[in-house]
Amino acid sequence: MLHLTTMSLSLLLLLAAVANAEVVNFQPCADSVDTCTIDQVRVEPCTQAEQNAACHIRRRRPSTISFEFTPKFDADRLEASLGWAKSETEELPLVTMDREACKATTCPIRAGVQQTYTLTVPIEAKFPLRSYTIRWALTDPVTSKRCCFTHDIKVVR
């Protein structure tokens, strides 16, 4: 009989979620175009991706995001950030997010080597029902070089 540890089971569930995720439209951040290429972004659940519409993210349910990125810089570690991009220069961060990106991707990172970052984000009941442009970034804390992009979501009941 096969026995799976809790970690193995969690990894299998995460891989299954990523395999079922939808590829979504995104925009690279202007300041990271020269330092990183975002190759693909997937969100689970996002049935609206087929219509190129904002993902409907339900409150009180987790959402998994996974993206492939190819940095043009080396870094021993990365800091993650996620926030509501109110404008090009103004962002309201998700303060409950774990900023240690190396928990969700392999570190150190090397220039020209594609990697995948995968994270499940709890969507709290207190999030207002509305549309958002959210900004994801993985930043080298030493040089401030980053991989960054935005995509649209709509928080729904």
Q: Which residues touch 66 (CB under 8 Å, ≥6 apart)?
A: 18, 21, 41, 42, 44, 116, 117, 118, 119
At the top level of CATH, the class of 24-155 is mainly beta
For the stretch 93-144, pLDDT in tens is 888 889 999 999 999 999 999 999 999 998 889 889 999 999 999 999 999 9
Domain boundaries, the chain: 24-155
| pTM of the predicted model as reported, rounded to 2 decimal places | 0.82
pLDDT of residue 129: 95
Chain CA centroid to CA 69, Å? 11
List the single range of 30-34, 37-41, 88-92, 120-124 with lowest mean pLDDT.
Answer: 88-92
For the stretch 60-99, pLDDT in tens is 999 999 999 999 999 999 999 999 998 877 888 888 889 9
Residue 41 confidence (pLDDT) above 50: yes
* Dihedral Cα 46, 49, 51, 55, nearest 10 deg: 50
